[in-house]
Structure 1
Amino acid sequence: MKDYWLLVMFIALLTACGSDNNDVESDVKANKQSNVSEQYVKDLPITDNSEVNHYKVLFIGNSHVQPLKSLVSTLIEKGLAEKVVTVEVGHGTFLDVALHSEDLIEQLQGNSWSHVILQGQKYSQSREHTYPTSATKLWIQRVKHQSATPMLFPEHPQKGDLVEGQYVHNIHVAIAEEEASCVAPVGLVWDRALQLKPQLELHSSDGNHATSIGSLLTALVFYEMITGQSADLLPFIQELPADEATQSFLGQIASQVIAENENCNY
């Protein structure tokens, strides 16, 4: 019996060591949860809902999606006055952690969304680890099962990181190659804007989250991808952050980068 408890203590000690235990546990859970994807048809084509009369948009993700509800609503209301728009945010976390959230699943399946935007695929900020993408693929399948347009939301890069935007974008492109989805080039748009105007204050003081202007730049990307209308052609909107010249610049950059990156394979 003594030898048995020594063995138990030894195993417990091993599992407590190392800084990546939470990540490993999450990865294992994500892999187990991926089995649920068998109930859906894989790699269905993407439904193009850009011309619907009522844009019903659901964001699922973490804190990066929270400021976008009012911004995307205002852009569509002012840019396309003939359209009706409803934007909601599903209060979630990383997509693998939220995979079996009853509230989020009910929110997704309980409404006829035109577009569902998915943010929260884990990635390694050090680029030293690889995280499973099975949960994100399952979310895409769920969205397509509802006849909504799925859009992946690669996060913008952290302040001062010149390669993270492309790195995160590539992860999401690889996901879309296996499970068809639109990919919003958010990080690439941020990179271009900061290359041309490094004085822009897109990052908040934590170097991670967006300022109001940074959130506006991201919202402009989604305005164009949801509606199919150029962000570059939007009028000046008094209710939004940034002066007229800055709004015009942000719209131009969003449209240019979207045009350069094939983002939906309808």
Structure 2
Amino acid sequence: MKEFKSHLKIQIFFLIFLLLVGAYLLVEPKKQTEQKTQEILSVLFIGNSYTRPLPPIIQAIAKSNGAQIIYSSITPGGWTLQKHSESADTLEAIHERAWDYVVLQEQSQLPSFSEEQRHKEIYPYAKKLTKEIRLAGATPLLFLTWGRKHGDTQNYSNDTRSKMQARLFEGYQNIAQTTSSKVIPVGLAWETISSSDKVIDLYAHDGSHPNQNGVYLSAAVFVSYLLKQPQLNAPPINGISKETAELLAQQTKKLNLDP
């Protein structure tokens, strides 16, 4: 009888062991599958010095939100879409791999000029680039930039940041309609922060380019759009405090990010 009980205990122990092993084998492949299905996006950034500092911060924020961004960028200072459309390097980059998205950023003032000027200096080149992007199998996106801190006083007397932002918004909306493209409204997030009572300066000393806060805010808007996540994890990066990072990232919830 003792031998029978002992044998029964061994059988029960062995059965439990098999069940545990089976459960592990069922769960482990699922974990591996989840790891393998981590979202991976490839993005080419075409623009100038406004775009230049953004990609690595976009990559870092995306990583903290469970996605991997593979990127390349072509951002010579002051370049327009016309220059990019005539550049062999830019056109080659568009076709060098199967990008998911290609981001286009026009020179910081041009889209805020008159519709007549946009017809001459932007639309033909935006059309050429978006055509090449689609031929390469990618989706073109337009990077709506921000108004300068004191407006474009070189071209408009008594200008302000908000007035310039309104013109930029109109300009990029018209470029989007002309090229059947979507707009990433980074400039609208800048306007919200700059118009609020939050003491967060987004501008570098020249009142035009972004400082670290401006780069972070811009990158957060991009990540929110690309990952289709209105609410982001906001890691502190480049000396930005967690509190500031979270405040900047919260702006993505207030935008109409229509993928």
Instruction: Tell me if both proteins adopt one fold, taking TM over 0.5 as the criterion.
Output: yes
Name whichever of 160-169 and 203-212 sits farther off: 160-169
Residue 44 of structure 2 is matched in structure 1 by 58
TM-superposed deviation, 1:175: 1.6
From 81, 101, 110, the equivalent of 1:95 is 81
Residue 187 of structure 1 is matched in structure 2 by 187
Residue 233 of structure 1 is matched in structure 2 by 232
Residue 250 of structure 1 is matched in structure 2 by 248
Aligned partner letter, 1:142: E
How far, CA to CA, are the matches of 2:49 and 2:88 in structure 1? 19
| Paired residues of 1:166 and 1:188 also in contact (CA < 8 A) | no
Residue 130 of structure 1 is matched in structure 2 by 117
> For residues 206-217 of structure 1, what are the structure 2 equivalents within 5 Å?
206-217=206-217
User: SS where residue 98 of structure 1 aligns?
Assistant: helix
Instruction: Check 1:216–1:75 CA distance in 2 against 1; reply closer, same or farther (3 A cut).
Output: same
TM-superposed deviation, 1:85: 2.0
From 117, 123, 131, the equivalent of 1:141 is 131
Segments of 5+ residues of structure 1 without an aligned counterpart are: 1-50
Name whichever of 127-136 and 92-101 sits farther off: 127-136
> For residues 105-124 of structure 1, what are the structure 2 equivalents within 5 Å?
105-121=91-107, 123=110
TM-superposed deviation, 1:52: 8.4
TM-superposed deviation, 1:198: 5.3
Instruction: Check 1:96–1:52 CA distance in 2 against 1; reply closer, same or farther (3 A cut).
Output: farther
Identity of aligned pairs, percent?
24
Segments of 5+ residues of structure 2 without an aligned counterpart are: 1-36, 151-160
User: SS where residue 254 of structure 1 aligns?
Assistant: helix
Aligned partner letter, 1:154: L
Aligned partner letter, 1:98: H
Structure with bigger RCO (C-alpha 8 Å, 6+ apart): 1
TM-superposed deviation, 1:137: 2.0
| Paired residues of 1:72 and 1:87 also in contact (CA < 8 A) | no
TM-superposed deviation, 1:196: 1.5
How far, CA to CA, are the matches of 1:206 and 1:168 in structure 2? 19
Larger radius of gyration: 2
How far, CA to CA, are the matches of 2:198 and 2:128 in structure 1? 38
TM-superposed deviation, 1:124: 6.5
Name whichever of 83-92 and 218-227 sits farther off: 83-92
| Paired residues of 2:204 and 2:211 also in contact (CA < 8 A) | yes
Instruction: Check 1:181–1:124 CA distance in 2 against 1; reply closer, same or farther (3 A cut).
Output: closer
Aligned partner letter, 1:113: W
Instruction: Check 1:175–1:220 CA distance in 2 against 1; reply closer, same or farther (3 A cut).
Output: same
How far, CA to CA, are the matches of 2:220 and 2:133 in structure 1? 22
TM-superposed deviation, 1:99: 1.0
Question: TM-score, with normalisation over the residues of structure 1?
Answer: 0.71
How far, CA to CA, are the matches of 2:75 and 2:216 in structure 1? 20
Q: Alignment length, in residue pairs?
A: 207
TM-superposed deviation, 1:226: 1.1
TM-superposed deviation, 1:182: 1.1
Name whichever of 176-185 and 56-65 sits farther off: 176-185
| Paired residues of 1:91 and 1:104 also in contact (CA < 8 A) | no
Residue 163 of structure 1 is matched in structure 2 by 163
Aligned partner letter, 1:195: S
User: SS where residue 73 of structure 2 aligns?
Assistant: strand
How far, CA to CA, are the matches of 1:256 and 1:106 in structure 2? 37
Q: When you count helix as a share of all residues, which structure comes out higher?
A: 2
